[in-house]
A and B are shown apart, each in its own frame.
Chain A
Amino acid sequence: MRVRTVALGGAVAFGASLMILAVSVDTKLLGDNSGYKPVQPIAYSHALHAGELKLDCLFCHTGAEQSRHAGIPPASTCMKCHETILNKAGTKPGVSDPSPEIAKLARAVKEGRPIEWVRIHRLPSHVDFPHSRHVNGGVACQNCHGEIQGMERVEQALALTMGECLTCHRTENQKLQLNGKAPMAPTDCSACHH
């Protein structure tokens, strides 16, 4: 029986090492999705809207202040401006060709078809992350989402692993304690895992 166990163990190790060798060029941890930069159905540019035009994050992502989900704005939010703004040059008709991306948006609204955005930032389902607490607590969006205002196409900047969350929580608590205040960021497991 002992021989059998050793032989089986050896087989598993052999197979695993083959595979690990094969993927050893890429040494990211399981669940680390940083660098994920998928193509979206509409090529919305944060660099233009948040960067150049300086729209506030919360102008569109209203859920971030009230809910656990920041959410993606409904098409009606976009149409607030893009009902009339058809291209970069402004609203002057006939100046240049209307933007095909805005046309995609308008078509979706007209046909009553929801826009299927590709979700980039995703925490596992056993994590309850409350956006509202962080936004109201003064954490800048860029802290976790990177310099969105410079991204033409959104990319996941951080790994968003639990280690990163705890590091920030602990650092902030230390800062508060150094200033004689009570720690605010929970480090109890069940604060997020319930």
Chain B
Amino acid sequence: MHVWKSLGERRGLIKKTKAEFSDELPVGESVRQITRRDFFRFSGLGFAAGLAIGCKSKVVEKAMPYLNAQEGLTPGVAQWYATTCQGCSAGCGVLARSRDGRPVKLEGNPDHPLNRGGLCAIGQAQTRGLYDPSRLKQPRLQGQDCAWQAFDADLAKRFAEIKGKGGKLRILTGTLLSPTLKATIHGFLGGFKDGKLISYDALSCAAIFAAYEQTHGLKVLPHYRLEEAEFILGIEADFLGTWINPAGFTRAYASRRGPDNSRPMSKHVQAEACMSLTGSNADERLRLAPSEVVPFLEALASALGSGKSGGDLRKELSTKANALAHELGEHRGSSLVLCGANDLYAQLLTARINHLLGNEGHTVDLSHPSLQKQGDDRALAGLIKEMGEGQIDAVIVVGANPSYDLPEEFSSAFAKVPIRMSLGLTADETAVTCTHLAPDHHWLETWSDAEPVAGTMSLVQPLTNPLFQTRAALESFLTWGGQSSSALEHLREHWRKEVFSRQKVVGDFGTFWDGVLQKGAVQLEGSPTPPAYREDQNASLRARNEAKPGTYELLLMAKVGMGDGRHAFNPWLQELPDPITKMTWDNYVSVSPATAKGLGLEQGDLAALRPQGLPELTLPVVVQPGQDDRTLAVALGYGRKEGAPKDWKTVGTNVYPWRHLASGFLAASSAALQIRRVGGRAELAATQDHHSLEGRELVREMALEPYLRDPASARPHEQPGPSVYGEHPHGKHRWAMVIDLNKCTGCSGCVIGCQVENNIPVVGKEEVAKKREMHWLRIDRYYEGSEAEPKVFHQPMMCQQCDNAPCENVCPVLATVHSEEGLNQQVYNRCVGTRYCANNCPYKVRRFNWWEYPHNSEVERLALNPDVTVRSRGVMEKCSFCVQRLMTAKIQAKNEGRELKDGEAQPACMQSCPAQAIVFGDVQDPDSQISHAMRDPKRFLVLGELGIGPAVSYLTKIRNADSTEAKGGHHGA
């Protein structure tokens, strides 16, 4: 199986360098004669050195204990609190680890029914948003910082004016997960004659709402139960990466992957234009231009017996649609068709197809709809119209950045509103145009609640006192509504009145409240029967296909690490390599290999794109295998300028201006897209093409049928090579790890989890371009097969903790030695920076601190984990299996006088994985999860033939396809 990592490698364009570090060594510098000045300079050095050696360090350090002992707070002992992530609108349950009164690490809450302990990359990175020195520190009135009292007094005056003349007030928000906040806002609006709340999502699902309103009379987004699905067809829906609830969907999806579960392995087919994370994990993938989504759905519906196909579908797609309809028909009630296009007709078709397949009530849950997207694009369009006509007297923006992520018509209409207020945390694109700024708390320092799926409720509790003079949105609206209770009091009251009665398990409210605070989430009773499906054959909604030959179609998508752009100033997320392209610190236009060839474009060229009638923007080109030939794809969420930290260079290009609301739904312009090459090249910082592993068998896969027939056939034929070394003696534990490639989706939650836990520095774009990124854990992405329709593999790679580690032999100062528990230890204080160990490592997982990567700002330094050394320049570092977490668990067990339980000691990567793809534990315990995984016939070692005995092994990926033969044929452009 010939595996290749990039087009450059496949085409033989990458020159293999002999030396790992390609810079020239500085030898042979010019020499002067020694002068008297030099003599004294150097003897002075010796004098100072002698001084340092001779003197004792007498830096006086003060220790200042509390005046009053804090109950339950022992310095040095971590405290855990359950709260809810607000990194996006999915509302995953989180356990936040607090050290000495400040949160340093977020972990998924295992007791939360949606994410069950997993947390995505964006969620893991949230602590950085709390410790952001560019946050607004106090309210601002007409551009001047002021105190809350003055601010509220001014607002009271203005609100009174509006109420007096019966004026109009609008509140524009992102999806509000908090029922209490929504109720409070409605209470505040009740004081106005014409006050409305309008929600929108930058990554909109409004068409799904509108579709279900027509088919069921219910304006809902169904909760998709992927754990019940045996056959999943995703059409332009990146549900594992960015759509609605990636962590929750991944958990549900992964529970059906892998052939050895009690329930049969699911089959996943994905139809999309640009390679997405979800598409890369599918058993089968089809290329589909955006304009082909509706015809494809029509063909599916028609094959299932409803409606007629439009007739403008490519022959091979219509054949495929028929075949898929047949397969879907075999899984009635246990299939799921997901469509991410924000087009009403497409969603009506999807709703119809799911209904025809009997999926309602099984995989499509309408009794407990999802509340994770609440945006109403039509109401938004109405607001823009009203504002443009000068009808609105005041607009309050909460949890949204509309001047950035909405079409330009919003900004010009917004400017006409006399009172514009933003509750945003930073002086973002919207806030800089506002008259009033009332900055909200960060979610880690506030009281609130969340209801992500109807009936599943959780609380948001603060981990620390507010860092600045900000105020919770809940309190702000209470104050402006004339009430004076605190956020906590109001929240408790709301739960006492509205939530407590919806459950029958606990009789006393106080106990109920404490229970939810402790556990994190509660599932309430009530399972209303949704109304029946109403057939709607409204074909007039079908949008015209505007695609013209010679022009291309635009696909605007979100990246896994960036989402809609609200975390654009989070350096961890900017440096996270995109799971598919492995690009950092940039967005770009993805072009298929055939199209790039036809246009004479190469990776890194600059190209200017222009949808008809919209501004032209220049973007770097990335050639993307597996992309549809007619589609050019660009990621949203980049090009942000306002609210940036000091000295921040703008990252990427903002392509939100290429969206419109013309159809009533936020969508990318479907007008003819032209692309032309402009001179110059962009510096792209990608982490792929590094550490070329010489084409050896690094990933293994098998088809499902042959595996089920004979599981033992999955065993690798090659035996680990011989070794000249004897066995290491092991102590009480021997740690090992197995990564299940069936479950791993490549979401990179583990990468950020590792970065946060281990104080891994961010190096910036230039250094990443020099191959100096510091991530201890990387996800290698391999392609196999043709450029047009490749298969994709994701393989997490970290220090393999080899028994016969090549790095241990070559360290001149014994900074890397083997522990008696099987770990390859890196001792930072011994390391002198020879870098011979990194040279010797065949997996190239050792990272070197080339510079002092400072955490200059006092506020930024609060994000560091105090349990892990912060490494200085000249020190080598690498994955340690989170030895600090292992030590903490062992000390806890020893202090309590008991044995360590299986699963008690978890490295950060294992803990964060939404798919639970990483298994870790003590192989000397025959009953542990890891011992079970070690006996799996699918287990193989990467580079096992070297005989170095890695402690990390992988499980062969099983594809639910007839065979694993790569598709060699091409599909024409």
Contacts and interface: CB of A to CB of B under 8 A. Distances in A.
Contact of A66 (B64, B77, B883): B77
Given A11-B43, A74-B69, A193 B869 contact: yes
Contacts of B51: 19, 23
Contacts of B134: none
A150 interface: no
B540 interface: no
B820 interface: yes
Given A8-B34, A67-B76, A119-B63, A190 B69 contact: no
Given A3-B34, A20-B53, A112-B67, A189 B46 contact: no
B894 interface: yes
A72 B884 CA distance: 24
A20 B332 CA distance: 86
Interface residues of B, number: 60
Interface stretch (B825-833, B910-918, B919-927): B825-833
B50 A19 contact: yes
Contacts of B662: none
Contacts of B305: none
B951 to A, nearest CB: 14
A22 B54 contact: yes
Contacts of B820: 188
A15 B74 contact: no
Contacts of A63: 74-77
A191 B67 CA distance: 33
B63 A117 contact: yes
Contact of B883 (A20, A62, A116, A194): A194
Interface string A111-146: 011111111001011101010110011000000000
Nearest to B884: A194
B646 interface: no
B261 interface: no
Contacts of A19: 46-51, 53-54
Given A67-B76, A188-B819, A194 B53 contact: no
A64 B38 CA distance: 53
Given A8-B34, A126-B869, A190-B827, A117 B43 contact: no
Interface stretch (A27-35, A42-50, A92-100): A27-35
B75 A67 contact: yes
Interface in B21-70: 31-34, 38-40, 42-57, 60-69
Nearest to B64: A114
A156 to B, nearest CB: 11
B895 A194 contact: no
A119 B891 CA distance: 25
B760 to A, nearest CB: 14
A4 B46 contact: no
Contact of B69 (A13, A77, A183): A77
Interface in B735-785: none
Contacts of A137: 894
A14 B38 CA distance: 13
A117 B529 CA distance: 67
Contacts of A125: 869
Interface in B813-852: 817, 819-821, 823, 825-830
Contacts of B48: 15, 19
B817 A66 contact: no
A69 B39 contact: no
Contacts of A90: none
Contacts of B34: 3-4, 7-8
A128 B60 contact: no
Nearest to A71: B75
B504 interface: no
B39 A16 contact: no
Contacts of A113: 67
Interface in B694-714: none
B42 A15 contact: yes
Contact of B891 (A26, A117, A132): A132
Contacts of A24: 54
Contact of A182 (B55, B732, B883): B732
B868 interface: yes
A75 interface: yes
B828 A23 contact: no
Nearest to B826: A190
A63 B69 CA distance: 11
A58 interface: no
A119 B60 CA distance: 7
B39, B45, B47, B53 interface centre (most CB from chain A within 10 Å): B47
Interface string B887-898: 100010011000
Contacts of B77: 63, 66-67
Given A32-B56, A63-B75, A117 B50 contact: no
A136 B56 CA distance: 33
A132 to B, nearest CB: 6
B65 A115 contact: yes
B550 interface: no
Contact of A69 (B49, B75, B732, B827): B75
Given A7-B39, A8-B38, A38 B61 contact: no
A130 B31 CA distance: 52
B615 interface: no
Interface in A159-194: 182-184, 188-191, 193-194
A33 B60 CA distance: 12
B201 to A, nearest CB: 42
A39 to B, nearest CB: 11
Given A3-B34, A71-B65, A128 B884 contact: yes
Interface in B462-515: none
Contacts of A4: 31-34
Nearest to A2: B31
Contact of A190 (B31, B53, B883, B894): B883
Contacts of A18: 43, 46-47, 50
Nearest to A133: B891
B69 A118 contact: no
A3, A12, A136 interface centre (most CB from chain B within 10 Å): A12
A79 B907 CA distance: 42
A126 B828 contact: yes
A104 interface: no
A182 B6 CA distance: 51
B679 interface: no
B175 interface: no
Nearest to B732: A182
A8 B74 CA distance: 54
A137 B827 CA distance: 25
Contact of A76 (B68, B823, B883): B68
B867 interface: yes
A191 to B, nearest CB: 6
A183 B729 CA distance: 13
A63 B64 CA distance: 14
Contacts of B830: 189
B89 interface: no
Contact of A11 (B39, B61, B823): B39
Contacts of A16: 46-47, 49-50, 53
Contact of A74 (B39, B68, B884): B68
B46 A14 contact: yes
A117 B64 contact: yes
B514 to A, nearest CB: 23
B598 interface: no
Given A15-B50, A67-B75, A191-B883, 12 more contacts: A4-B32, A11-B40, A15-B47, A23-B51, A26-B56, A63-B77, A66-B74, A69-B75, A108-B67, A116-B62, A118-B61, A126-B828
22 contacts: A15-B50, A19-B47, A20-B54, A63-B77, A67-B75, A68-B76, A71-B65, A74-B67, A76-B67, A114-B66, A115-B65, A115-B67, A125-B869, A128-B884, A130-B887, A189-B825, A189-B830, A190-B819, A191-B819, A193-B828, A194-B880, A194-B883
**Smallest CB-CB A-B distances: 10 pairs:** A19-B50, A15-B46, A23-B54, A67-B76, A15-B43, A16-B46, A12-B46, A15-B47, A11-B42, A188-B819
